Structure 1
Amino acid sequence: MSMIGLNDIKNARNRIVGHIISTPLVCSPTLSDICGVAVGLKLEHYQTTGSFKLRGATNAILELTEAERAHGVVAASTGNHGRALSHAVRAVGSRATICMSRLVPENKVSEVRRLGADVRIIGNSQDDAQKEVERLVAENGFVMLPPFDHPAIVAGQGTIGLEIVEAMPDVNTVLVPLSGGGLAAGVAAAVKSMRSHAKVIGLTMERGAAMKASLDAGEPVLVEEFPSLADSLGGGIGLDNKVTFPMCRALLDDVVLLSESEIAAGIRHAYVREREILEGAGAVGIAALIANKISGLRGPVALVLSGRNIDMAVHRRVVNATGNPPA
């Protein structure tokens, strides 16, 4: 098992400082009232590219040699990793090819193109896109930087956990969006190294939750992908997963599944009560709290608002669909 430790994460922070934003952790009076414990929001959607992915992508790019950067990098993405990687390679004079499936929303695809990446739309799943990545690596010698199952990616995302504990030293529960596990594994490694009794809980959608299915099976498994408001949480974890599956199995205390209506309520609450625009994946922590899905909740609670890159037409429909979320 390739476990990322506290030193790896601290080294990543030293590497990426100046390239990313150290985002605020702010109190949410409304969620604190709802839950009866202090709740803090880690505003990771404030990153330059609109999601936490910039941390891991930047760390991975800065770890490459000049020769590797000259070859160019390639990755599969559900959108946010591709956007972050495209931004990061521009800063070092490299280039990126991003492979995405037809399920990736057009607003995310167009932003990756705007940043100068070569975009390939392949198949109906991230697994299909990954096959194209592997072909390009074999044929063109590109350097593969996957969206989660990579030590430098996990270490970069883990810097969020450092910042959470520094801002909330007595944190008892951390809620983290869960897809391929790069964010959850990195945050859990940092938090539990500094505050061993804290619980770290992964949150994902009900349908097509690959990490949850894999954890239940005891090994990485394939899942069918479905459209979801939490589109960033879609995709498989890779049958040869070497980093994030073992880390999530060892470090996560629970995984909570959320329905599409619960995710929508999280997006609405974020907008109406917190004055924040979030994509579905970024709102799953809020969704879990207002739906009372976290059993035995102990405060203080920190939850990661992981991204804001939602199609605004979709956002308007969701916000206007059923009125205000619960107060």
Structure 2
Amino acid sequence: MLNFNEIQKAKERLNDVTKKTNLIYSQVFSNECNNEVYIKPENLQLTGAYKLRGAYNKISKLSDEERQKGLIASSAGNHAQGVAYAAKKLGAKATIVMPKSTPIIKVESTKKLGADIILEGECYDEAYAKARQLEEQEGYTFIHPFNDLDIIAGQGTIGIEILEENKDIDYVLVPIGGGGLISGIATAVKHIKPSIKVIGVEPIGAMAMKKSIENGKLIELDSVKTIADGVAVKRPGDIPFSIVKKYVDDIITISEYEIMEAFLLLLENHKMVGENAGVLSLAASKKLNVKNKKIACVISGGNIDVLTISTLINRGLVTRGRIYCFSVELPNTPGELNKISKILSDLNANVIKFEHNRYVTYDRLTNVKLEATIETSGKEHIELINKKLKEIGLEVKTVH
């Protein structure tokens, strides 16, 4: 098990290296869950994610001989940048094996920090196998992203910072991939304040830690499927698993839609970008069955490419009911489209697109199909629009 003193020593090593990411009170997420929510924005860290903490702590403790061998790591992106940054600062050469699915921004950012990149496999675990193979062949020093006590100690410095800034925090919500982040944070906060609750968060398509805890042993998933690439891990580490068993109070699972919704709320209200894995804690904040508690949500990273951001915004708008697409059949007579337009105008709905098609209805001689995409203020607004359309005799079908 990790000793709290090692986390304190890691904090001293990192004082002049990492950026202190102060807690940000969130009115919007507080309103969503009827608690007092504070964001721990590790997406604002120097490399865009918390991983720099563990990587630097680990590499700074290596001997000169170990560093001179060259470093190798496997990563879905954020650990890669942490290792590359630390290696450059400490005078070592780094090679990173990344899954082929890694977002381009993470690959390019790691290259800019001076690391050599190898793309291998469809998920983290396949990249990990390749990195271990190269470690044996080339004699590199392997820097594990989560199954290492020095890495975990570095990540645990986040827990110390949270309680130094607000000692009254009742809950800490933390994303889980391999388990290194939550292991470090849980060790730190439980030592400082034993009454605090630590809640892990995993996407439904990659809940390896939750299944492992439920089965009382490490479980390797057959496959992972999630938009949260940073936590797409088939098998957690055995060291984090043992710490999670001891210190973590619960693990919440989150759907892809809940991830998109949290991403949009963070972007729109805090003007802040969190990657899909990074916003898991925010998505989980409204799934806690508690009220009037002080909750710290760790945003683990913000490294995400622009095309993915665009997709998430659009899907998030649909999930929140801000974009609504519906279809109705109208009599093929003059003035029918104007009736729809007037209802939408009177209800302050903004029309994005109308598609008026007479060839797709059952009775195309007398009816036409109208598919409308509109901008609304939310789900209650949609209900009001549907009610008014039904009042004039239309059957409304939701497209999305």
Which range is displaced more, 157-166 or 310-319?
310-319
Aligned partner of 1:270: which letter? L
Match of 2:111 in 1: 113
Match of 1:226 in 2: 224
Question: Does the 8 Å CA contact 1:173/1:297 hold for their aligned counterparts?
Answer: no
Match of 2:270 in 1: 274
C-alpha separation between the residues in 2 aligned to 1:206 and 1:143? 34
Structure with larger Rg: 2
Match of 2:253 in 1: 257
Match of 1:50 in 2: 48
Aligned CA distance change for structure 1 residues 225 and 78 (closer, same or farther; 3 Å): farther
Match of 2:392 in 1: none
Match of 1:133 in 2: 131
SS state of the match for residue 281, structure 1?
Answer: coil
Residues 1:304 and 2:298 aligned together: yes
**Greater RCO structure (CA 8 Å; 6+ sep):** 1
Aligned length: 321
Aligned partner of 1:55: which letter? R
- Residue from 128, 150, 163 that aligns with 1:165: 163
Matches within 5 A, 1:83-94: 83-94=81-92
Match of 2:203 in 1: 205
C-alpha separation between the residues in 1 aligned to 2:218 and 2:101? 22
C-alpha separation between the residues in 1 aligned to 2:292 and 2:6? 29
Matches within 5 A, 1:93-104: 93-104=91-102
SS state of the match for residue 184, structure 2?
Answer: helix
Q: CA deviation at 1:167?
A: 0.9
Q: CA deviation at 1:236?
A: 2.9
C-alpha separation between the residues in 2 aligned to 1:259 and 1:287? 9
C-alpha separation between the residues in 2 aligned to 1:322 and 1:253? 30
Aligned partner of 1:257: which letter? T
Match of 2:354 in 1: none
The gaps in structure 1 that reach 5 residues or longer are none
SS state of the match for residue 224, structure 2?
Answer: coil
Q: CA deviation at 1:73?
A: 1.0
C-alpha separation between the residues in 1 aligned to 2:112 and 2:309? 22
Q: CA deviation at 1:237?
A: 3.3
Question: Does the 8 Å CA contact 2:208/2:220 hold for their aligned counterparts?
Answer: yes
Which range is displaced more, 207-216 or 153-162?
207-216
Question: Does the 8 Å CA contact 2:73/2:143 hold for their aligned counterparts?
Answer: yes
TM-score for both structures, normalised by structure 1 = 0.94
Residues 1:186 and 2:180 aligned together: no
- Residue from 145, 148, 156 that aligns with 1:147: 145
Aligned partner of 2:297: which letter? L
C-alpha separation between the residues in 1 aligned to 2:247 and 2:254? 21
C-alpha separation between the residues in 2 aligned to 1:9 and 1:59? 10
Question: Does the 8 Å CA contact 2:34/2:292 hold for their aligned counterparts?
Answer: no
The gaps in structure 2 that reach 5 residues or longer are 322-377, 379-400
C-alpha separation between the residues in 2 aligned to 1:45 and 1:105? 16
Question: Does the 8 Å CA contact 2:97/2:118 hold for their aligned counterparts?
Answer: yes
Q: CA RMSD in A?
A: 1.6
Structure number with higher strand proportion: 2
Residues 1:321 and 2:283 aligned together: no
Aligned partner of 1:317: which letter? T
- Residue from 271, 284, 287 that aligns with 1:288: 284
